[in-house]
Chain A
Amino acid sequence: MNNVLELKDVTKNYGDFVLDHVNFNIPQGCICGFVGQNGAGKTTTIRLILDIIALTEGEIKVFGKDMRKDGKILKDDIGVVFDEMGFHDFLTGVQINKIMSKMYTNWSEEVFTGYMKKFGLPMKKKCGKFSRGMRMKLQIAVAMSHGAKLLIMDEPTSGLDPIVRNEILEIFQEFVMEEDHTILLSSHITGDIERIADMVVFIDKGRIVLSGEKDVILENHAMIKCSKKDADTIAKEDIVSVRQSAFGVDVLVHDKKVCARKYDKLTMEQCTLEEIMIHYVNRANNESKEA
């Protein structure tokens, strides 16, 4: 399968924050969840992919091409949704349609008005008067009305109520029904990612801590809830991290099958992406403390 997006040793040094040699690929036709807590480097990575900010080091390829050289052509095939709406408050749907029709080669007024209707967004109302959910839908409508093959979205569901979030996630799932459509979805809401993503990339403090197919990650990891004494019997190389809980400790292990054989007396539970993320962040924190 072709990679739509390839990041190789991507580094951005801000002085007080470093995006440190980020590597991951996104194959065509999948939804990639880009997960990390606030300030982990998700937005910086997205801005680098879109060539909004300059790379310090590394290489980014979109559809096999360099964004810095072929940006104008490539961006015609990319739809972008930012966490904050980037349109002026006084613009209406009608005006946005006119502007975008002059910006994108394949802009379709029919598709745009169709989405606006579908999302229940009035074409003549100023977008400054839209609610947060409506603003997000407007951005999505714009992102999907010019025949984009890759959607890049930065926290599109944060701050939205569950019903609107659900609606938006369904739209994304519909979008990837077309086999050449791909989505990079950044979020700190792991529930959304768990629901729709095919692959997951975890980022923490500018470093990729885990990446791979979502199902594989969920299948491999397991949570052992036990006493501190039992936790001490688990080999260090099997553990991602150990956290105190109300009844003892939670131990996240990264190879469920191996651990099931090695520690057959301990009970293993299926864990969520959120738990995995918390434990990986916990491990990174512990490592930096030790360092």
Chain B
Amino acid sequence: MKGLILKDIYCLRTRMMAYIMTMVAALVLGILISLSSEYGNLRFDVFMAGDASITEDDMASYKIILGGGTFLAVLISLGVGFDGIMTFHMDEKANFNDVLRSMPVKPEEIVLARYITTYGFLLLSYVSSVLVALMISPVVKMFSLGEMIYAGTVLACALAIGLGVSICALFLWNKKTFDRIFVGAFVGAYALFAIALIVSDTYYENRLDAIMGVLMDKGKILYESCLLWLLPVAILMVAVCYFVSVWIIKRKGRGVR
């Protein structure tokens, strides 16, 4: 199993430059937005210039742009944590799965090694996101360091669940099928959302605003109490996904496909 982890580390090392570049980009983005909010076009009085009266919508859009940008910096650095899953693709491309199954390794070890490297990489990116938050917090006025770390932790939990489900899917299908399903689900969700919007807009008009309002309020409450439920759910889900992966690999009697 140690050999598999070492192999994964060598795999992920090839993506180190992209990883560093992403971190730098996240850092630069965070600092630029912060500086712009102090001295540039995102300064409140500049942003609101020309408006006779500032409405709630104006305030909301200002917060979304500024807040979204700042969080984006933290989130980008965390998002590369999903990159750990690339080892599946690399192994498939190199025909490593057959070689792996010809080696003295138990299926459980194959799964465990995958989880260790994938979640290890997520942990590394979480630490990086905290570092990015630490670095941009002195210039960001809108959010505290605690808020940024909180947002990062919430996303890390969500990513952990997503990674677990993805690993199961990759053990079940090959990378190509997984990509198709992933893209299909993504496009399908967007299509459904678009259809729902069009239909709601046509038939319900004001009701859509009401629905969105409720969703936003509930979403806020949900977000604020996130770690209370998301953290244990993430831990539980990762554990469940691990056992499901072991079951899949044993049942299929083969490496990954």
Contacts and interface: CB of A to CB of B under 8 A. Distances in A.
B104 interface: yes
A87 B96 contact: yes
Interface string A73-89: 11110101010111111
Given A88-B96, A98-B6, A102-B2, A54 B252 contact: yes
Interface string B83-116: 0000000110011111111111110000000000
Nearest to A152: B102
Nearest to A142: B99
B43 interface: no
B90 A88 contact: yes
Interface stretch (A22-30, A45-53, A205-213, A278-286): A45-53
B255 A52 contact: yes
B189 to A, nearest CB: 34
B3 A102 contact: yes
Q: A interface, how many residues as a size bin?
A: 20 to 34
A71 to B, nearest CB: 8
Which A-B residue pairs are the 10 nearest by beta carbons? A86-B99, A102-B3, A54-B253, A103-B3, A80-B102, A102-B2, A75-B104, A88-B94, A52-B101, A76-B104
Given A72-B106, A88-B94, A104-B104, A80 B10 contact: no
Interface string A60-100: 00000000100111111010101011111111000100111
Contact of A87 (B94, B101, B102, B255): B94
Contacts, number: 79
Contacts of B103: 75, 103-104
A77 to B, nearest CB: 9
A170 B14 CA distance: 37
B254 interface: yes
Q: B interface, how many residues as a size bin?
A: 20 to 34
A244 interface: no
B254 A52 contact: yes
B231 interface: no
A105 interface: yes
A46 to B, nearest CB: 9
A52 B11 contact: no
Binding site of B, secondary structure by majority: helix, strand, loop or mixed?
helix
Interface of B: 2-4, 6-7, 10-11, 14, 90-91, 94-106, 252-255
A50 B7 contact: no
Contacts of A75: 102-105
A67 B4 CA distance: 21
Contact of B10 (A51, A78, A99): A99
Most buried by A among B100, B104, B105: B104
B98 A90 contact: no
A133 B106 CA distance: 31
Given A52-B101, A54-B253, A103-B103, A90 B14 contact: yes
A82 B104 CA distance: 16
26 contacts: A50-B101, A50-B102, A51-B253, A52-B98, A52-B101, A52-B254, A53-B254, A54-B253, A68-B253, A72-B105, A73-B104, A76-B104, A82-B95, A82-B98, A84-B95, A86-B95, A86-B96, A86-B98, A86-B100, A88-B90, A88-B96, A90-B10, A102-B2, A102-B3, A103-B3, A103-B103
Contact of A47 (B96, B98, B100): B98
Contacts of B254: 52-54
A97 to B, nearest CB: 11
A45 to B, nearest CB: 14
Contacts of B105: 72, 75, 103
Nearest to B253: A54
Nearest to A49: B102
B6 A89 contact: no
B10 A88 contact: yes
